[in-house]
Amino acid sequence: MNLRKLAEMPTRIEKHSACPGCGIFTNLNLFLRGIDGHVVLLFNTGCGMVVTTGYPLTSFKVPYFHNLFHNGSSTATGVVEMYHRFKKQGKIKDDITFIVVSGDGGDDIGMDQVIGSALRNDPFIMLEYDNKGYMNTGGQLCYTGFKGQRNSNAPIGPALRGKKTHHKDVIEILRGTECSYLFQAAESNARDMIAKARKAQATVRAGGFAFGKVFSVCPLNWGADEAKGNEIVEKVVDACMHPLYEIEHGVTRLSYDPEERGKKIPVSDAFRVMGRAFGHLLKPDNADLLQEVQDEVDRRWERLKAMSAAEIL
């Protein structure tokens, strides 16, 4: 991977009004470094959209679609069909890569439509930035959030200790669709993310669907230090709370194993730097809840390692 050539790749999104420390555009601009040629972006409504399109300005240097909270994948299905029809008719000559960008909240609300696109193996990329909440509308609970996480509608008190359920695993949900390519990536492993972007583009050019999830910090709603974004991401990855792996035509491969490198840490080390939305989990009164999260993360990690070790899984 030639870093000089990567630096010369065009910037598709420039100035924006995101909150200080927001991880969305670090992830998105890094991912787009791995995408060559013409690009069309389709955004679900969410933080990534509202901070880039304040009328009459725009942050985009490429064509884009603004969708509702949930229907970007359905829009992309129609647009891609139109594109291939026009290309067949000779009305469009150029190769174009279509990328849907959604928050984890958008993929809560529109999970059915994402699954439909995956089942049809529609040839576009969908990239989810996972910041563990509905951050655009006030930090409400999202099903990707960790158990016990504090949200505006899942507070901490005598009757409720934050979110009641474990985090939704969208990659494993989509595994069952048998779509072409699935992956998780993180800004802390930049080359890995860019390599997966290239593989995702190659997948859609070959006629398949690609879905990726990237971990995105939200200092505002987490109450985290806005200068510690990369440190937070590194710890979340090393705690196996956001493992880096890919599923290509049903075959699972770990991209990064913190155990092999002697870097695996407990989830408490990650929660310690993630702000007040998670800090209460470190209190003695919540030791049982913290252990539940650790046990679930460990269970999923062991299962993922087994899948990576045996192609039949």
- Tell me how far apart the alpha carbons of residues 292 and 312 are, in angstroms, rounded to a whole number: 30
Please report the pLDDT score of residue 54 as a whole number.
Answer: 83
Please report the pLDDT score of residue 247 as a whole number.
Answer: 98
Cα–Cα separations (whole angstroms), residue 198 to 1, 40, 122, 215: 11, 16, 17, 19
Measured CA angle at 178 (ends 175, 179), to 5 deg: 95
Q: Where are the domains of the chain?
A: 3-309
> Low-confidence residues of the chain, pLDDT below 70?
1-3, 313
Model's pTM, two decimal places? 0.95
Please report the pLDDT score of residue 3 as a whole number.
Answer: 67
Please report the pLDDT score of residue 1 as a whole number.
Answer: 62
Q: What's domain 3-309's architecture?
A: 3-Layer(aba) Sandwich (3.40)
Please report the pLDDT score of residue 112 as a whole number.
Answer: 95
Q: Are 166 and 146 in contact (CB under 8 A)?
A: yes
